[in-house]
Amino acid sequence: MNSLNHRIDEAARRHGFVLVGFSRLRELPREAFYREWLANGRAGEMDYLAREPERRFDPRRLDPRLRSVISLGYPYESPRVPDVDWRIELRGRIASYALGEDYHRYVLRKARAVAAALGEARPGSLARVYIDTGPVLEREWAREAGIGWFGKNTNILNRERGSYVFLAEIFTDLELDATAEPYGDYCGTCRRCLDLCPTQALADGYLMEPRLCISYLTIELRGPIPVELRPKLGNWIFGCDICQEVCPWNPAPNGPGNDQLAPSLPELMKLDEEGFRRRFRGSAVKRTKRRGLLRNVAVALGNSGNPEAVATLAPALESEPEPLVRAHVAWSLGRLGGVTARRALEKARIRDDDPSVRRETDDALATNFA
Ligand code: SF4
Ligand code: SF4
C-alpha cells in the first residue's frame, strides 16, 4: 500500500470504517448483465436504479477526471430478537440496519470526513461521496476494491465481518493503488440463504429477484402487496434479515433481546401521521411513510393467525384514513375469520366507497366466509 492509500486507510478506520479497499475505475465487467437486469424490469418501482445507468456503470462517464474509488464498510449490530412468540404477542419485525438513526445520515457524515482527510493529504483533489446510491453497483465496486465477495444472498461478505456493514464510496481523481488481491468466494457449496428465503427471491447464479424480496415489498413498493406474497411476509414490516441471519459468515446475535426489533403491531396500527413522524423521526423507517408501514403492519397482523388481532383490525377498517391500509386490513380480517371480522367486512362493503377497499372486502368475504 503506498503512503496515500495508507493515510486514507488510517483516516477511514479512525472514523469507524472496518473495511477499506481501493480500485481503479474501469468499465464494470458485469455491465451487460445489469443492462439486461434493468431491461427485464427487475428494478420494479426502484426507479432510481434505472436513472442515469451510465453513471452507475462507470462514473467516469459523468466526470472524466475521476480515476479511482475508495470502498468503505461501516459495521452495524444485529442484536438478538426478544425471545417471545410474535404471534401471541403480536409483534412485528424490523431489519437490524433500521435501528437507531438513519444510517444514510451518519455513514455519509463519516465518509465525508474521510473525503476531507483525502483533501488535506492532496489539496485540490476531487472527492465525490456516495452512499446507497444503487444497491447493485455499490456492491460491484466493493468487490472490485477487494473488501469482500458477492455472496449468493447478493450481499458483500467479508470473512471477518460477515455482511452487517453499510457500504460507502468515494470517487476521486487521484491515481490510487488498487487493492492487490481480489477477494476469494467463500460461499462454497452452502445454499442456506437460497433455501431459507421465504419468497424464493434468490436464485442460483448469485441472482435476486427484487420484486419477490420482502425488503423490496415492505419498503420500496408503494402500492398494494401482491396477494399471493402476503402470507410469506410473516411479521416482517420493514425489510428482512433472513438471508443474512442464516449466513454462517455472520456472527450469531448476542446480548439481551432488543424490543425495538420487534415492535408491538397494535401500537403501530394506532399511529396517526403525527405519531408516526414523532416515533420515526431520524430513522430509516420513515422511508415507507405511514401508509406503507401500516400496510405492512396490517398484513403481519393477518399473518399472526391470532384472533386477538381482530380487535385492532376491525376498528381500523372503519377509521383508517388511507385506502391502501384499509384494503390490507380487509385482507387480514378475511384471513383471521370469526364473527367480528365478518361483521366489520360486511359493514365496509356497504359503507366504504373506495373501489380498491371494496374489491379486497369482497374478495375477503368470498374467499373466507362463502
Ligand atoms: Fe429473501 Fe428476505 Fe433475503 Fe429478500 S431479504 S432475498 S426476502 S431472505
Ligand atoms: Fe453464501 Fe451460504 Fe452465506 Fe448464502 S448463506 S451468502 S450461500 S455463505
SS3 letters across the chain: CCHHHHHHHHHHHHCCCCEEEEEECCCCCCHHHHHHHHHCCCCCCCHHHHCCHHHHHCHHHCCCCCCEEEEEEEECCCCCCCCCCHHHHCECEECHHHCCCCHHHHHHHHHHHHHHHHHHHCCCCCEEEEECCCHHHHHHHHHHCCCCEECCCCCEEECCCECCEEEEEEEECCCCCCCCCCCCCCCCCCCHHHHHCCCCCEECCCEECHHHCHHHHHHHCCCCCCHHHHHHHCCEEECCCHHHHCCCCCCCCCCCCCHHHCCEHHHHHCCCHHHHHHHCCCCHHHHHHHHHHHHHHHHHHHHCCCHHHHHHHHHHHHHCCCHHHHHHHHHHHHHHCCHHHHHHHHHHHHHCCCHHHHHHHHHHHHHHHC
Handedness of CA 364, 321, 44, 282 (dihedral sign): negative
Q: At 184, which amino acid appears?
A: G
Q: Is the CB of 197 under 6 A from ligand 1?
A: yes
**247 with 153: CB under 8 angstroms?**
yes
Q: Is 201 in the pocket of ligand 1 (CB under 6 A)?
A: yes
Is the model's pLDDT at 49 over the cut of 70? no
Q: Which residues contact 16 (CB under 8 A, 6 or more apart)?
A: 74, 75, 110
166, β-bridge pairs: 74
For ligand 1, whether the C-beta of 215 sits within 6 Å is yes
Q: What are the residue numbers of the active site?
A: 132
User: pLDDT band at residue 182, thresholds of 50, 70 and 90?
Assistant: confident
Regarding beta strands 236-238 and 93-94, do their DSSP bridges make them parallel or antiparallel, or are they unpaired?
A: parallel
**What CA–CA distance (Å, rounded) separates 221 from 198?**
18
Per-residue model confidence (pLDDT) at position 56:
65
Higher pLDDT, 56 or 213: 213
Average pLDDT over residues 82-110: 95
Pairing assessment for the beta strands 156-157 and 165-172 based on DSSP bridges = unpaired
pLDDT over 70 (residue 237) = yes
Which whole number is the average pLDDT over 268-281?
Answer: 97
- Give the ligand at the shortest distance from the Cα of 216: 1
Mutate to test the pocket of ligand 2, among 149, 186, 193, 241 (most ligand atoms within 8 A of CB): 193
Residue 30 has pLDDT above 90, yes or no: no
Q: If we measure between CA atoms, which residue out of 182, 109, 180 comes closest to residue 140?
A: 182
Top mutation candidate among 97, 207, 240 for ligand 1, by most atoms within 8 Å of CB: 240
Residue 183 has what pLDDT? Answer: 87
Higher-confidence residue: 145 or 61? Answer: 145
**Mean pLDDT, to the nearest integer, of 318-337?**
98
Cell of 149: 465477495
Taking residue 280's Cβ as centre, other Cβ atoms within 10 Å add up to: 20
Q: Report the residue among 150, 213, 235 best suited for mutation to probe ligand 1: largest number of ligand atoms under 8 A from its CB.
A: 213
pTM of the model: 0.93
Residue 135 has pLDDT above 60, yes or no: no
Give the CA distances from residue 106 to residues 21, 67, 69, 93, in Å, rounded to whole numbers and listed in that order: 20, 26, 20, 23
Q: Is 70 exceeded by the pLDDT of residue 115?
A: yes
Report the pLDDT value the prediction gives residue 208, as an integer from 0 to 100.
Answer: 86
297 falls in which pLDDT band (50, 70, 90)?
A: very high
Strands 68-75 and 19-24, bridge-based pairing = antiparallel
CA of 200, closest atom in ligand 1 = 1
Q: Which residue has the cell 401471541?
A: 88
Cell of 125: 483533489
Lowest pLDDT segment from 36-40, 134-138, 239-243: 134-138
Question: What pLDDT, on a 0 to 100 scale, did the predictor assign at position 26?
Answer: 83
When pLDDT is averaged across residues 340-368 and rounded to a whole number, the result is 96
What separation in Å is there between the alpha carbon of 42 and the centre of ligand 1?
A: 15
pLDDT band at 369 (very low <50, low <70, confident <90, very high): confident
- pLDDT grade, residue 132 (50/70/90)? confident
Residue pair 296/226 in contact by the 8 Å Cβ criterion: no
User: What is the 319 CA–ligand 2 centroid distance (Å)?
Assistant: 45
The answer to whether the CB of 202 is under 6 A from ligand 2 is no
Of all ligands present, the nearest one to the C-alpha of 211 is 1
> Is the CA virtual torsion 346, 348, 352, 354 positive or negative?
negative
What mean pLDDT comes out for the span 268-286?
97
Distance of CA 231 to the CA centre of its chain: 19
CA 186 / ligand 2 centre spacing (Å): 8
- Average pLDDT (60-71) is 88
Distances (CA, A) of 356 to 17, 19, 276, 319: 47, 47, 24, 16
CA–centroid distance, 65 to ligand 2, in Å, is 38
Q: Residue 39's pLDDT is what?
A: 72
Determine the pLDDT at residue 53.
Answer: 63
Does ligand 2 have an atom closer than 6 angstroms to the CB of 196? Answer: no
- In this predicted structure, the answer to whether residue 52 has a pLDDT above a threshold of 70 is no
Of 92, 69, 68, nearest to 81 (Cα)? 92
pLDDT at 55: 64
Mean pLDDT for the stretch of residues 42-50: 65
Give dist(CA 186, CA 69) in Å, integer: 24
CA of 138 to the centre of ligand 2 (A): 19
Residue 1 near ligand 2, beta carbon < 6 Å = no
Q: Is the CB of 137 under 6 A from ligand 1?
A: no
| pLDDT tops 80 at residue 62 | no
